[in-house]
Amino acid sequence: MKNPVKTKIQYSDAILSLSIVFLLAVFCKLVEISLLIPFLLLFLGLLLFFFKKGSLKLFLNLGLLIALTLFASSAIQTYTNLCPLFLPVASIAMLTMLLYDDLQLVFIMAFVSSALFSLMLSGSRWLGLLGVTPLDVMLIFFIGGLAGAFAVRGARTRGTLFAAGLYVGVIQAVGMILIHHDFLLLLSPMFLKVFVLPLLVSGLVCAAVLAGLGVFEYLFGVITNFSLLELSDFNQPLLRRLILEAPGTYHHSLVVSNIAEAAADAIGSNALLTRVGAYYHDIGKLEKPDYFTENQIATGNKHDDLEPSMSRLVILNHVKEGIALAKQYRLNPIIASFIPEHHGTSLMHYFYQKALAAEKTDKGEVNEENYRYPGPKPQRKETAIVLLADSSEAATRSLDEMTPNRIEEVVRKVINNKFIDGQLDESNLTLKEIETIAVTFTRSLSATYHGRVKYPEIKNASDYRHQKSADDHSAEPPRAQEGDSHSS
């Protein structure tokens, strides 16, 4: 499977990044700051390049994160007499983890930020007073940053952030105790006040910095678990409308989100993002809910009276309307990307076949491209999983006989067709992951649709007694009544 285009480095981006580093070097030379600062930024850019995560935007975002914290720390150092050990250096690595959930990036940022801070402190009188070298400070902040990043990984509550801040403080304090392995000094109250307390407080300041996560989320165009949890609340206006105006689509979205979330979890991609993306994938159906099968229980199929070309327009429109609604309700762009990507450039088989059948009588020409969704194809694993879950759920729902074997057959057929049609080409899913997704879908869909045990209809106690006496007089077991099924 080919690599997604987004991981390729653009030459223009590389030139611009190098120019920024060069200008920074000139600036540092002019104001007599260590030239190691631009060198470290160059190092950061090169690592991003080699890990194939490179884009100018990511480089600038991470650079901005470091610059903001350095600037604030430098201002505090210049204008106050605060001990540098109070500085929340670990917050950079913690923010990187929350915003990007990427261990390599976290490692780089923990290293670059701690190195830059120790450089900034190299001339500080505090180092002499504390009896530590810049390297000691760098190591303490580096370990603190890594510890904090691991502690906030996958965090879903504000309480976790606070606990992570406390954890950072303790790890940093332990680091300082290990550097000063003089037991007499360790027992003195002065040591606790001057060395341990600032590092403990620094961890808590990190937790306070993380409280401003929403600002970075907005600036960097990413989404964190906190926003995802807010979006998963069914009181959100768009989900409320879905429940009230298109209950069939709401139920379909719930099933899709359940099976997609389980699959995302099984392959180690972002399960919460997948679930929330699935909630919103079909919001475009709000405009004309009656034209979609899941909402046609009472009305019958409206497409029976429509030309295939008209049906095509109505169905295509649910993607367009969805994008418009996402804009109107200011939905996060990452969640909005599930709307066009959950169909990719797939073909509307049913209406295409209907149009071909009509062509034979009309002698008109049917262009396959007209019956394809506009795309783009899924650009991330999460949207690809929702694409597969959406089609697998719809295909399973239309089965007459919902046994696990039939469900597996249909799921594999759907996934194979999407794969052959090239819909997964840009999603970065591996063959092994696709196999895991097929197995998980089969299990989840079988649990949802199979095993509906039919019970005899018993309305009240007298019915029960009546039935029991009838059973006592007959050797036959009670017969299941049509239409009285209970899902397991």
**Cα angle 419-422-427, degrees, rounded to a multiple of 5:** 85
Q: How many CA atoms lie within 13 A of 353 on its CB side?
A: 2
User: How far is it, in rounded angstroms, from Cα 381 to Cα 364?
Assistant: 39
Shortest Å distance, C-beta 110 to Fe ion: 41
Q: Which is nearer to Fe ion, 295 or 440 (CB)?
A: 295
Among 86-94, 290-298, 382-390, 472-480, the segment contacting Fe ion (CB under 5 A): 382-390
Across-strand partners of 425? none
User: How far is it, in rounded angstroms, from Cα 278 to Cα 386?
Assistant: 6
Among 73-81, 282-290, 307-315, 476-484, the segment contacting Fe ion (CB under 5 A): 282-290
Among 69-77, 276-284, 354-362, 478-486, the segment contacting Fe ion (CB under 5 A): 276-284
Shortest Å distance, C-beta 256 to Fe ion: 6
- Residue 360's H or E segment, with its range, is helix 349-362
Shortest Å distance, C-beta 287 to Fe ion: 13
What residue type is 182 in one-letter code?
D
User: How far is it, in rounded angstroms, from Cα 258 to Cα 279?
Assistant: 10
Among 38-46, 142-150, 277-285, 301-309, the segment contacting Fe ion (CB under 5 A): 277-285
- Cα 41 to Cα 23, 87, 89, 111, 270: the distances in Å are 12, 21, 16, 11, 29
Q: Which is nearer to Fe ion, 124 or 417 (CB)?
A: 417
Shortest Å distance, C-beta 261 to Fe ion: 15
Shortest Å distance, C-beta 382 to Fe ion: 15
Q: Which of 101, 217, 261, 282 binds Fe ion (CB under 5 A)?
A: 282
User: How far is it, in rounded angstroms, from Cα 31 to Cα 120?
Assistant: 13
Shortest Å distance, C-beta 251 to Fe ion: 11
Residue 87 and residue 137 in contact, taking contact as beta carbons nearer than 8 Å: no
Tokens 């999407």, residue located: 418
3-state SS, residue 487: coil
Among 36-44, 45-53, 70-78, 281-289, the segment contacting Fe ion (CB under 5 A): 281-289
Q: Which is nearer to Fe ion, 224 or 379 (CB)?
A: 379
Residue 41's nearest CA partner among 27, 32, 31 is 27
Among 52-60, 210-218, 300-308, 390-398, the segment contacting Fe ion (CB under 5 A): 390-398
Q: Which is nearer to Fe ion, 282 or 382 (CB)?
A: 282
Interface with Fe ion, residue 408, by CB under 5 A: no
Residue 346 and residue 373 in contact, taking contact as beta carbons nearer than 8 Å: yes
Residue 402's nearest CA partner among 350, 438, 366, 442 is 442
Shortest Å distance, C-beta 386 to Fe ion: 8
Shortest Å distance, C-beta 345 to Fe ion: 13
Q: Which is nearer to Fe ion, 140 or 262 (CB)?
A: 262
User: How far is it, in rounded angstroms, from Cα 379 to Cα 179?
Assistant: 47
Shortest Å distance, C-beta 431 to Fe ion: 25
Q: Which is nearer to Fe ion, 53 or 343 (CB)?
A: 343
Instruction: Report helix angle 271-280 to 381-397, nearest 10.
Output: 60
Among 278-286, 350-358, 366-374, 444-452, the segment contacting Fe ion (CB under 5 A): 278-286
Return the residues of window 321-380 that contact Fe ion according to CB under 5 A. Answer: none
Shortest Å distance, C-beta 331 to Fe ion: 16
* The token pair that represents 73 in the structure block: 């720390």
Residue 109 and residue 96 in contact, taking contact as beta carbons nearer than 8 Å: yes
Residue 231 and residue 343 in contact, taking contact as beta carbons nearer than 8 Å: no
- Residue 308's H or E segment, with its range, is helix 308-328
How many chain residues are in contact with Fe ion, going by CB under 5 A? 2
Q: Which is nearer to Fe ion, 265 or 321 (CB)?
A: 321
Give the per-residue contact string, 458-477, with Fe ion (x = CB under 5 A; - = no): --------------------
Q: Which is nearer to Fe ion, 136 or 390 (CB)?
A: 390
Q: Which of 101, 217, 390, 426 binds Fe ion (CB under 5 A)?
A: 390
Interacting residues toward Fe ion by CB under 5 A: 282, 390
